[in-house]
């Protein structure tokens, strides 16, 4: 079983996803914080509100009134925590706006991980979808799907598997992660295992 075959199978089943919907890289990064522990439609609402208040600029968001910011992101849950995290992230973006694009990925990743509320998945989502560098994002759906296929491991092990087996192609990584999430939502979460295109009665189909 090759990871590229799983990709082809998911692509055939679901079609192109074209993630991540956003007007700017910073908007992607904001979305990566807001999407923690909530549904995407709540994130969309908050992003729209932030846009209407002209807050989707790093410097402006970093200096935003905390009460106003909390109110605007309330619909995504954990709003106090998220408002604080957004301000920290915005401050990082405003300080490194000119240099972060050329930073070695491991340096950028290390720095992002030092920010409050930025774990592996959020850091890698920002690197891949906002900065456009080939870092494979692992999430709960990836672990679940690979687990069904007999591939277990922690974040680093699974990420290394993808990154060593696939070409370091940003578009491929983006599409692949999007397909995994979509498949997870449509099939795994709804327990549609009898319709699974990857497995049938425990037998791997690819
Ligand atoms: S649909 Fe079911 S069998 Fe298929 S990957 Fe998801 S959880 Fe596993």
Ligand 1 atom 3: residue of nearest CA: 193
* Mean model confidence pLDDT for the chain: 95
Q: What is the pLDDT of residues 47-85, one digit of tens each?
A: 999 999 999 999 999 999 999 999 999 999 999 999 999
Residues framing ligand 1 (Cβ under 6 A): 144-145, 148, 187-188, 192-193, 196, 198-199
pLDDT attached to residue 21: 86
Sequence-separated contacts (24+) of 34-40 with Cβ below 8 Å: 34/73, 34/76, 34/82, 34/86, 35/76, 36/78, 36/82, 36/117, 36/122, 37/77, 37/78, 38/76, 38/77
| pLDDT for residue 174 is more than 90 | yes
Ligand 1 atom 2: residue of nearest CA: 193
pLDDT attached to residue 205: 77
Residue 43 tokens read as 């994130």
CA-angle at 109, arms to 106 and 112, nearest 5°: 150
Ligand 1 atom 5: residue of nearest CA: 145
pTM of this structure? 0.95
pLDDT attached to residue 113: 98
Query: CA 167, CA 114: separation in Å to the nearest integer?
Result: 28
DSSP label at residue 99: T
Ligand 1 atom 7: residue of nearest CA: 188
Query: CA 4, CA 174: separation in Å to the nearest integer?
Result: 13
Query: CA 69, CA 79: separation in Å to the nearest integer?
Result: 9
With cut-offs at 50, 70 and 90, classify the pLDDT of residue 201.
confident
State the distance from the centre of ligand 1 to the C-alpha of 187, rounded, in angstroms: 7
Report the candidate in 59, 58, 79, 57 with the shortest Cα–Cα distance to residue 69.
79
With cut-offs at 50, 70 and 90, classify the pLDDT of residue 202.
confident
In testing the pocket of ligand 1, which one of 141, 143, 145 has its CB within 8 Å of the most ligand atoms? 145
* Chain-centre distance for alpha carbon 35: 8
Q: Specify the ligand 1 atom closest to the Cα of 184.
A: 6
pLDDT attached to residue 93: 97
């Amino acid at each position: 079983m090759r990871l590229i075959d799983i990709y082809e199978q998911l692509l055939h089943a679901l079609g192109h996803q074209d993630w991540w919907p956003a007007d700017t890289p910073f908007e992607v990064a904001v979305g990566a914080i807001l999407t923690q522990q909530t549904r995407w439609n709540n994130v969309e609402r908050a992003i729209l509100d932030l846009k209407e208040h002209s807050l989707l600029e790093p410097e402006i968001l970093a200096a935003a009134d905390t009460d106003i910011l909390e109110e605007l992101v309330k619909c995504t849950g954990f709003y106090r925590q998220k408002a604080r995290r957004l301000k920290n992230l915005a401050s990082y973006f405003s300080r490194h706006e000119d240099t972060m694009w050329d930073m070695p990925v491991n340096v950028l990743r290390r720095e992002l991980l030092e920010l409050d509320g930025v774990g592996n998945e959020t850091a890698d989502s920002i690197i891949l979808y906002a900065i456009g560098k080939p870092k494979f994002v692992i999430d709960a759906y990836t672990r679940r799907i690979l687990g069904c296929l007999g591939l277990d491991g922690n974040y680093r092990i699974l990420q290394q598997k993808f990154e060593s087996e696939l070409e370091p192609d940003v578009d491929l990584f983006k599409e692949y992660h999007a397909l995994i999430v979509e498949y997870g939502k449509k099939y795994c979460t709804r327990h549609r295992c009898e319709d699974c295109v990857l497995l049938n009665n425990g037998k791997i189909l690819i």
